[in-house]
Amino acid sequence: MKGWVSFYLIGAESGKAISDGLNQDISIWRVQKKDGKIECSCYCRDYKKFSRIARKRHCQIKISTRHGLPFLLHRYRFRFGLLIGTIGFFAFLMVMSCFVWQIDINGNYRLSDAQILQVAEQMGIKKGAFKFGINFDEVESQLQQQFGGFAWISINEIGTHIMIEISEIEPKPETVTPSSPCNVVAGYTGIIRDINPLGGQAVVKSGDVVKEGDLLISGVIDDQLEQTHYYHAYGSVTAEVIRTASFSQNLNSERTIYTGIDKNKKYFSIFGGRIPLFFEKTNDNMKEKSTQYHPLCIFGLTMPFGIEEITYQVYETETLQLDEQGARRMLVEQAEQWEAENLKGAKILNRQENFQQEGEQQILQMEYTVEQEIGVQKEILLSNSSPIEENTVPNETE
């Protein structure tokens, strides 16, 4: 910040002038003899004092170069645009510091960032929002009510940066543990074809008609002394079940085909808004593939604006016009895919197809008669005083 000057001395007593200056606590450095004169440097505040000493020694003194901020400011003292621009820049930073530049979310694994940000934006937390108009306690309460399942949630303001910290509650597993008492109930309505209780007592037999939720194998057993015991019931229960599914297909439909062409577009992004830096218009046949954001940094400070580069995939739309037979073939393919996903492990005894025409749609109603496993374990909720039998698990033959 201090200004300093380089100068040279000419005279027979130049060395004595420098010694006198040093004796009067004047800092002099870079002393060297060149072309019959002595070159040296000192602070600008000491130059006038040293020049008087040099003249007393009958030496000529002349400044060669000036260095430092004071001389730089003096050089640009009439350039008011630079001064106004500097003041405007810092005023801009002060005003912008009142707004949200960045939002980060930590601790979420069940919910996505987009789901949380959607609710937060409705409550006023978004890029470009005025910080002092946000009620952070109210936003925390609204997020807790909207999603639940949070052990705690905290929203912290760090300058222009908003940090949403979340701790989610571990969901309780719905599966029944091997040691917990439970019943086996029907997962579907059907006719029992085979029942093999490996633990607990069967309450239905082959040929019985059961509805969804009916008890099949009981884990609650009374002994000869009329004492109630609770066991972990399990086993295999096969039933004849009616399963239905419906599929539809438009006779006139469109599908998109990727052309293999990618296009890169650049935008000026500020507070989530985009200003295109190109003249070509994007169309409906272009879909975002990837996005890269390059924020502008000034003096190590990340600004709330920058360049966003988006890669688009170009698609073509193809119109399909199907006749009745073509539509039926596609419906059958849908039905086969549904069978592979939903009737895996089941024995299909019969299938009935019913095709219908509704306007421009072909509809297929499928009805399946299948033999499948229908037993579902359901935990028995007990009080702390209820006895639980863990070691001995009788079946109906005992």
CATH topology of domain 4-74: Alpha-Beta Plaits (3.30.70)
The pLDDT score that the predictor gives to residue 125 is: 87
Predicted confidence band of residue 1 (pLDDT cuts 50, 70, 90): low
Per residue in 13-40, pLDDT (tens digit) is: 888 888 999 999 888 998 988 887 889 9
For residues 332 and 304, which has the higher predicted lDDT (pLDDT)?
332
Structure tokens at 127: 């890029």
pLDDT of residue 355: 92
Worst-scoring range by mean pLDDT, 259-268, 335-344, 379-388? 379-388
pLDDT of 185 reads 95
Once rounded to an integer, what is the mean pLDDT over residues 141-147?
84
What's the confidence (pLDDT) of residue 385? Answer: 47
Give me the mean pLDDT over the 284-310 stretch: 80
Residue 293 has a pLDDT of 82
Q: What is the mean pLDDT of residues 233-254?
A: 90
The more confidently predicted of residues 389 and 287 is: 287
Residue spans of alpha helices (H) in the chain: 14-23, 44-56, 69-75, 80-96, 113-122, 136-147, 324-342
Taking residue 303's Cβ as centre, other Cβ atoms within 10 Å add up to 14
Residues 6+ apart with CB under 8 A from 363: 246, 247, 248, 331, 355, 356, 357
Report how far apart, in Å, the C-alpha atoms of 258 and of each of 103, 254, 288, 291 are: 34, 13, 12, 19
Which tens digit of pLDDT belongs to each residue from 53-103? 999 988 999 998 888 888 887 777 777 787 788 888 888 878 888 888 888
Taking residues 106-122, report their average pLDDT. 85
pLDDT at position 228, please? Answer: 87
- Beta carbons of 375 and 235 less than 8 angstroms apart: yes
User: To which CATH superfamily is domain 102-168 assigned?
Assistant: membrane protein fhac (3.10.20.310)
Entry pTM: 0.48
- Residue 119's contacts (CB-CB under 8 Å, 6 or more residues apart) are 142, 143, 146, 147
225 pLDDT above the threshold of 50: yes
* pLDDT recorded at residue 397: 45
- pLDDT tens-place string over residues 319-377: 778 888 888 998 999 999 999 999 988 999 999 999 998 888 899 999 999 999 999 99
Q: For residue 185, give the 3-state DSSP assignment.
A: strand
**Most confident region among 100-114, 167-181, 263-277, 368-382 by mean pLDDT:** 368-382
Tokens of 42: 């000192």
What confidence tier does 386 reach under pLDDT thresholds 50, 70, 90?
Answer: low
pLDDT of residue 270: 80
User: Which of 99-113, 196-210, 223-237, 242-256: highest mean pLDDT?
Assistant: 196-210
Pairing type for strands 28-34 and 215-218 reads unpaired
- In this structure, of 88-97, 103-112, 143-152, 168-177, the range with the lowest mean pLDDT score is 168-177
Residue whose C-alpha is closest to residue 252's, from 320, 354, 191:
320
Angle (CA) 57-58-60 rounded to 5° is 115
Kindly indicate the confidence band of residue 268, based on its pLDDT and cuts at 50, 70 and 90: confident
Percent of the chain, pLDDT > 90?
25
pLDDT at 213: 93
Q: Where along the chain do its domains lie?
A: 4-74, 102-168, 245-252+322-371, 253-320
Average pLDDT, the chain: 85
- For the residues 253-278, what does the mean pLDDT come to? 82
Distance CA 100, CA 268 (A): 18
Read off the tokens for 373: 């496993």
